Amino acid sequence: MSKAVVIGAGIAGIASALRLCKKGYDVTVFESNPYPGGKLHAFKTDEGYRFDAGPSLFTMPWLVDELFELFELDPKDHFHYMDKEVLCNYFWEDGSRFSVKADRQQFAKEAAQEFKTSENKLLDYLQNAQKKYDLTASLFLEKSLHKVSTYLSADTIKAILSLSKLSINNTLNEVNERYFEDPRLVQLFNRYATYNGSSPYKTPGIMSMIPHLEMGQGTYFPKKGMHDITMSLYRLAVAQGINFKFNERVTSIEHEQGIALGILTEKQSFEADLVVSNMDIFSTYDRLLENVKQPKRILQQERSSSALIFYWGINRTFPELDLHNILFSRDYQKEFDHIFNQRSIHEDPTIYINISSKDRPEDAPPGKENWFVMINTPGDYGQDWKQLQEEVKQHVIHKINRILQVDIRQHIEVEETLNPVGIARRTSSHRGALYGASSNSKFSAFLRHSNFSRQIKNLYFCGGSVHPGGGIPLCLLSAKIVNDLIPAA
């Protein structure tokens, strides 16, 4: 039986392993950590709080379901999730608040009233978001951008003929300012740039299709928490005979005469007919392919944003909050200038608060809540993160106190933190970037690394740092693209 090696047990690595297994390969996954999932991990505290450590937004759940369906299993027997009626609660410093509902008509009606605009304009914006998605999904999300055959399809030709409708030459902020007068509504839609670690003042207007993923296709929550995405797929992989080697760091991808032959780890040499790296693409070249010419233009792209996360056990409940909550900065543009130009953190950052105990009460003790408090930051460029972390914590506490009218410090009974240095160490993400390269250029999609090596045959790449990008859905799609590139065993 042909052997395949997957480097990294992140969500894309597990998905790739499953697809290769279905194709008849004997698959072994090597992971340096003692657990599967990469960023999609979780932990518990002695005080009874459970936290999803990484990604907290779940869209396009059918990409998980179809991995079970590959093996003729009913996903509902193995993985359970619920629709969210409230997508996100937004808070501004002027005291205004707005709750985005999943129902598009209800959102348009309530937003029109709150932001003094028309329902038709809001619905038109969302309709255009869907059109952009429908025009480009098959090209940018579902196929390799680095194969000539991709550009010969009818879908691609249709997308190219519609370039004028995709707002590629405008920034996301410019698109939103053309539509809406209320700066709060502009800020609400600008936030979607952060879904791929970019700035709304730099990323192209085509990114205005991202709201369609939430408002058109829905937002969901796994009934056992985000970590169950990882664990359900891991259990499926083990049941299908996929072998996992945890606590075993890969040190080199072995190749000869331009053909991948296997890997070296800290413990062994392992031969294989093909290798799939789910490791950050920069780190893959830097650590595993040291004697291979690097694609410098691709690897030297601007990194996406990173994050500073406070995991707080809160000893009371907040009825005004839901699963997803945003407390906006007064000056959004200055915040992104700090992140991408100054590589620092604005004193008034936007705060994201995720509370999984709202939908899964057992994630916190009775009468309490588990707060995942995150702000966007630059990657690690040698900043003094110990000092920055303490400064940011004070700013975050003061902002929460102002907006929620509370002294939050007296309610924090548990605290853990994670900064870009820790993210880089745990996940091998270069500079702790959450999404690999940023999308702060209209050419970013084409500059992401391909899902295959041009120099080494039988070497492939998946995960958030390569095409089509970061986030759970795109990582799962990267595994599908790799699968399409590899012949059956």
pLDDT category of residue 151 using cuts at 50, 70 and 90 = very low
From 99-103, 402-406, 417-421, 436-440, the region with the lowest mean pLDDT: 436-440
pLDDT for the residue numbered 420: 98
Q: Which tens digit of pLDDT belongs to each residue from 362-391? A: 999 999 999 999 999 999 999 999 999 999
pLDDT in tens, 303-362: 999 999 999 999 999 999 999 999 999 999 999 999 999 999 999 999 999 999 999 999
Q: Write the pLDDT tens digit of every residue in 5-34.
A: 999 999 999 999 999 999 999 999 999 999
Place of tokens 């999300």: 141
Domain 3-34+246-301+441-485 shares a fold with domain 41-61+69-102+305-434 = no
Read off the pLDDT band of 431 (50, 70, 90). Answer: very high
Fold of 41-61+69-102+305-434: Polyamine Oxidase; Chain A, domain 2 (3.90.660)
What is 67-117 written as a DSSP string? HHHTTT--GGGT--EEE-SEEEEEE-TTS-EEEEESSHHHHHHHHHHHHT-
Tokens of 403: 């907006």
Cis (ω within 30 of 0) for the bond into 468?
Answer: yes
Strand partners, 254: 262
pLDDT tens readout for residues 73-111: 999 999 999 999 999 999 999 999 999 999 999 999 999
Q: What is the pTM of this model?
A: 0.94
Could you count the other beta carbons within 10 Å of the beta carbon of residue 261? 19
Instruction: Quote the CA–CA distance of 145 and 279 in Å, as a whole number.
Output: 20
CATH of 3-34+246-301+441-485, one of 3.10.450.50, 3.40.630.10, 3.50.50.60, 3.40.50.720: 3.50.50.60
pLDDT band at 160 (very low <50, low <70, confident <90, very high): low
- Cα-based distances in Å from 318 to 56, 331, 405, 441: 19, 26, 11, 39
Judge whether 218 and 59 are in contact, CB under 8 Å.
yes
Spatial separation of the C-alpha atoms in residues 476 and 465, rounded to whole Å: 12
Q: Give the pLDDT score at 125.
A: 95
Please measure the distance between the N-terminal and C-terminal CA atoms of the chain and give it in whole angstroms: 7
Distance CA 65, CA 54 (A): 21
pLDDT per residue as tens digits for the range 171-196: 999 999 999 999 999 999 999 999 99
Sorted by sequence, the CB contacts under 8 Å of residue 10 that are 6+ apart come out as 37, 38, 39, 40, 278, 427, 463, 464, 475
Secondary element (H or E) of residue 256:
strand 250-256
DSSP string, 180-217: -SSHHHHHHHHGGGGGGT--TTTSBGGGGGHHIIIIIT
Higher pLDDT, 444 or 457: 457
pLDDT at res. 135: 80
- Confidence at 139, pLDDT banded by 50, 70, 90: low
In tens, the pLDDT along 104-138 reads 999 999 999 999 999 999 999 999 999 888 887 77
pLDDT tens profile 466-475: 999 999 999 9
Q: Report the Cα 324 to chain-centroid distance in Å.
A: 15
**Tokens 């950590």, residue located:** 33
CA dist., res. 359 & res. 222, Å (int): 9
Look at residue 168 and tell me whether its pLDDT is greater than 90. Answer: no
Kindly tell me if the per-residue pLDDT of 148 is higher than 70.
no
Handedness of CA 382, 384, 390, 392 (dihedral sign): negative
Q: Dihedrals φ, ψ of 199, to 5°?
A: -105, 135
What residue ranges do the domains of the chain occupy?
3-34+246-301+441-485, 41-61+69-102+305-434, 107-113+121-217
Residue 37 confidence class, pLDDT cut points 50, 70, 90: very high
φ/ψ (deg, to 5) at 14? -65, -45
Q: Is the pLDDT reported for residue 158 higher than 90? A: no
Answer yes or no: is pLDDT of 157 > 60. Answer: no
Stretch 155-178: mean pLDDT? 75
In b/e form, how buried is each residue of 157-169, taking b as 16+ CB within 10 angstroms? eebeeeeeebbee
pLDDT at 225 over 50: yes
Length of the chain: 489
